[in-house]
Amino acid sequence: MAQIQWFPGHMAKARKQVQEKIKQVDLVLEVVDARTPESSRNPMLDELVADKPRIMVLNKQDLADPALTAAWVQYYQDQGFAAIAIDAQHAKRLQQIPQLATKLMAEKIARKKARGIRNPMIKAMCIGIPNVGKSTVLNRLVRRNIAVTGNKPGVTKNQQWLKASDNFQLLDTPGILWPKFASQAIGMRLAFTGAIADAVFQEDTVGLYGLTYFMAHYPAALKKAYHVTDDDLNEAPHDLLVKLTKSQGFAEAYDRMAERLIFDARQGKLGRFTLEKPGETDADAE
């Protein structure tokens, strides 16, 4: 896969805008894709968020491997974050976010109440890389359809506060930061799940990555979707891709089979999957 480089100026601007807005919030909702929790994080965020309380929101749990999602939630909790797995599209468990926020801010709320503020407001901001579902989380939390911001870095000017409940407010546009491709494996995971625009990667490479991963971790899904046999699973991934290309009616067009596999995986036709495990290094994964 070609190395992807973001413009340094672009990154700096996004960073500055998020940095400014962060000053106005009490806590941050860091939204990640539950299928690629670490790879879909922005490496600058720790530094930007500094000491603000944070809720790790593992979104798209409906598409992710449930056992690994539970392991990731535990992993982030062990690191001292609040963490929750949700499916924002179907608003599943979303209302637990304000409850978690209230719990996290308990001391500050108590201090404000002691000063006579009857119902102290908690202000939060969704942050994450493009396509993890920040806008969906935001829209669902405030129960209205606001304009989707598109994949622009940073946050727009003149933001409004939106009410999610009587004491929980969110900025009306999420903070968008780019992913950092610290390794080939991170790029592959983001490409396979659709976090990176399809134009910037080669489908056959990403499809082969996905096939290799599924052969190792989700062989039953391949058996079900493409009638792959146990013998097939002993083949080299490239050879199986060639075989599938033929059996799925694409003749010699491997790229079309690769495209199909990527499409099926994103649509959930290969079942729920997660592309990384807590504590695993990219060297382990490769």
Site track for ligand G4P across 108-127, x = CB under 6 A: --------------------
Q: Are 120 and 166 in contact (CB under 8 A)?
A: no
Q: Which is nearer to ligand G4P, 170 or 285 (CB)?
A: 170
Judged by CB, which is closer to ligand G4P: 32, or 257? 32
| One of 19, 89, 159, 247 touching ligand G4P (CB under 6 A) | 89
In the list 133, 153, 154, 175, the residue contacting ligand G4P (rule: CB under 6 A) is: 133
Does position 87 interact with ligand G4P (CB under 6 A)? The reply is yes
**Chosen residue from 148, 200, 220, 236 binding ligand G4P by CB under 6 A:** 148
Binding flag, residue 264, ligand G4P (CB under 6 A): no
- Of residues 176 through 235, those in contact with ligand G4P by CB under 6 A are none
Least distance CB 130 / ligand G4P (angstroms): 5
Q: Is the dihedral of CA 5, 150, 175, 39 positive or negative?
A: negative
122-128/54-59 β-pairing: unpaired
CA-nearest of 57, 81, 78 to 69 is 57
- Cβ neighbours for 261, distance < 8 A, ≥ 6 positions apart: 207, 210, 211, 244, 270
Task: Report if residue 136 touches ligand G4P, rule: CB under 6 A.
Answer: yes
Number of residues that bind ligand G4P (CB under 6 A): 17
Cβ closer to ligand G4P: 98 or 133? 133
CA angle (260, 266, 268) in 5-degree steps: 100
Give the H/E segment covering residue 58: strand 54-59
Both tokens of 74, joined, read: 């535990």
Token digits for 32? 């990640």
Quote the CA–CA distance of 208 and 237 in Å, as a whole number.
Answer: 7
Question: Where do contacts with ligand G4P occur on this chain (CB under 6 A)?
Answer: 59-60, 62-63, 87-89, 128, 130-136, 148, 174
